[in-house]
Amino acid sequence: MAINFDKALGIHEQALQVRAQRHEVLASNIANADTPDYKARDIDFRAALQKSAQSSGGQLRLLSTQANHMPVSGVGGSNGPAELMYRMPLQPSLDGNTVESHVEQAQFADNTMRYQATLQFLSSKFSGLKTVIQGGR
């Protein structure tokens, strides 16, 4: 019987790819903190992950397990590409640069932590698959 890695790994593979892309965007923002008229950008993680899951055949939807659960409308993104969004500065600068180093560094640290968590999830999935393949040894 063949192992279907898409089903075995779940959404974690796509999440890792989107986190890596966001890492690049945040690093670019930090690198251009002193560039006049540079506009800070970011990825809408939820929309990007939704697009990635839909393009790979995976599904992201809320599961309603009881009749008392509230219906959720508008969850999920469109099938179009997730775009880079411009970040609105909390305090505008005179040179037109919208990068705020403290915000970018906090977002970078948060994304790093979430990237590591996704790697841990994938690692545990592979460990479980390895155990199954070896017959529980």
User: pLDDT by residue (tens digit) across 42-72?
Assistant: 988 777 777 766 765 554 444 566 676 655 4
The residues that bridge with 41 in the sheet, in sequence order, are 86
Burial 83-118 (b: 16+ CB within 10 A, else e): ebeebeeeeeeeeebbbbeebbeebbeebeebbeeb
pLDDT at position 77 is 37
pLDDT > 90: percent of the chain: 35
Average pLDDT over residues 99-120: 94
pTM summary value: 0.68
pLDDT at position 75 is 37
Q: Which of 18, 41, 21 is nearest to 31 (CA)?
A: 41
Q: Residue 107 belongs to what H/E stretch?
A: helix 101-133
Range of lowest pLDDT (20-34, 46-60, 96-110) = 46-60
Residue 116 pLDDT > 90, yes or no? yes
- Rounded to the nearest integer, the mean pLDDT of the chain is 79
